[in-house]
Amino acid sequence: MSPRRLGPGERLYRARRIGTTFGRIYLSIKGHQFIARRLGPPDMPERWSDLNRRSAESIYDAAVELGGMILKGCQFLGARPDILPPEYVQVLARLQDRVPPKPFQIVRRTVEKEYGRPLEDVFAEFATRPLASASLAQVHEARLHDGRRVAVKVQYPEIESLIRSDLSNLRSLFRAVGWLERELDLMPLIDELATHVPQELDFQHEARNAERMADLLSHRDDVVVPEIVWEHTTRRVLCMEFLEGIKITDVDALRAAGVDPDQVVRILVETWCEQILVHGLFHADPHPGNLLVQPSGPRLCLLDWGLSKELPPNFRLGILAFSAALIGGDADAMVEAFLDLGFETRDGSSESLVEVARFALEFAQRVRERSWAESRAFSRWNDELGAEIRRNPIVVIPSHVVLLGRVLGLLSGVSRSLGSKVDLLPVVLPYVFGAGASAPAAPPA
């Protein structure tokens, strides 16, 4: 099935909409910089905060209207406190829940073109209303003729063309920004998006990731990954086992079902520690819509493996070195760990990393003094570390570290929603230092 191509008029409109939105924001920023330098009004922090929020809202509106790569990119930026001020992060994070579904006739046409036969030949039942809609696809409940209940993820037909067009537009825009602002290099962001998003468009790749992790976690009876129905899975349609459960953030429903939210948090944290520190492959999008809880057990259901990440072979050694330096209060050793993990600075020196290392040590000391190791500490770490990085000229943060920061933020948010008081350090540290690494290493992809 060939994706729908964008017409010249649509491509021009998208380019103009993107350019004017970011152009207005850029001019407003330059105006505020002029006021700050020449006048230095005492309310300048409030002025910056107000501008940031208004700018973020205008980007939000453009993302909702345009969809495609713009929406996906803004969802990505909504989890990047190392790049954007908090007002942007707060506004853009709302995009996770604001994706309107496509009409059912579009879904039907997509499925029938992929399968080469009528929808009714494959499914005895197919719900016309989606269970969920996201930036690249939407999911419908269905039933096969053999009685199996399945979830069918259907890619939007125009999404590949939108992504190609938007990537081209954003590359041009960010090159212009780099020419105007020599100290600001946004091209690594485009490179990250250009790497990750095409992988999410290949549903067979997603299916292989799900199967691989289901095998790696098969020793756990408190975690379940949906089974893939391969005979009805293509590059643009993914058919999988339908899993029922309670949305992980629905605390009232969990308690009514006799589930202890603290136990759910422990399972959640253990599962991601095992993925990251034992197997080196992890689900990089654990927002509440992708996590269900089955009361019997309880069991954690992990849905949507479109955004998964394989870690470099030496990553665990880097984390061990970082953790040892953190516990030992050694800033120099922490800088070495940052460098081993792939962090770089604009001028090649390590001075900026020293400042980030000192911040990390001070934060760790605050946690120790307050015995403050519940989810709020990890969430605040992510936010404050992002602010510290923005104050320093770090120009390359490895993509796997970026995704881990996103995961940390999402998991912390879920834990806060559950009202958890679990002390996470005793859960995490055995995995960091090897006691939890009892499962075999992940085989090559």
The residue assigned the tokens 């999402």 is 410
For residue 165, what are the contacts with CB-CB under 8 A and spacing of at least 6?
Answer: 6, 11, 14, 15, 68, 69
The residue assigned the tokens 């009409």 is 103
Which two three-digit tokens encode residue 267?
């399972």
The Cβ of residue 325 has, within 10 Å, a number of other Cβ atoms equal to 21
| Residue 285 is among the residues annotated as catalytic for this protein | yes
Q: How many CA atoms lie within 13 A of 56 on its CB side?
A: 21
Q: What angle do CA 259, 207, 403 make, to 5 degrees?
A: 70
- CA proximity to 271, closest of 316, 208, 223: 223
Region of residue 348 (phi > 0: left; psi between -120 and 50: alpha; otherwise: beta): left
State which amino acid sits at residue 270: E
Length of the chain in residues, anyone? 445
Cα–Cα distance for residue pair 181/25, rounded to 1 Å: 14
Task: Determine which one of 202, 285, 332, 383 is catalytic.
Answer: 285
Q: Is residue 92 within 8 Å of 60, Cβ to Cβ?
A: yes
User: How do beta strands 149-155 and 132-133 pair?
Assistant: unpaired
Q: How far is CA 380 from CA 82, 408, 423, in A?
A: 13, 10, 15
Q: What angle do CA 161, 162, 167 make, to 5 degrees?
A: 100
Question: Cα dihedral sign for 196, 100, 158, 142?
Answer: positive
Q: Is residue 341 within 8 Å of 355, Cβ to Cβ?
A: no
Cα–Cα distance for residue pair 179/402, rounded to 1 Å: 25
Which residues are known catalytic residues?
Answer: 285
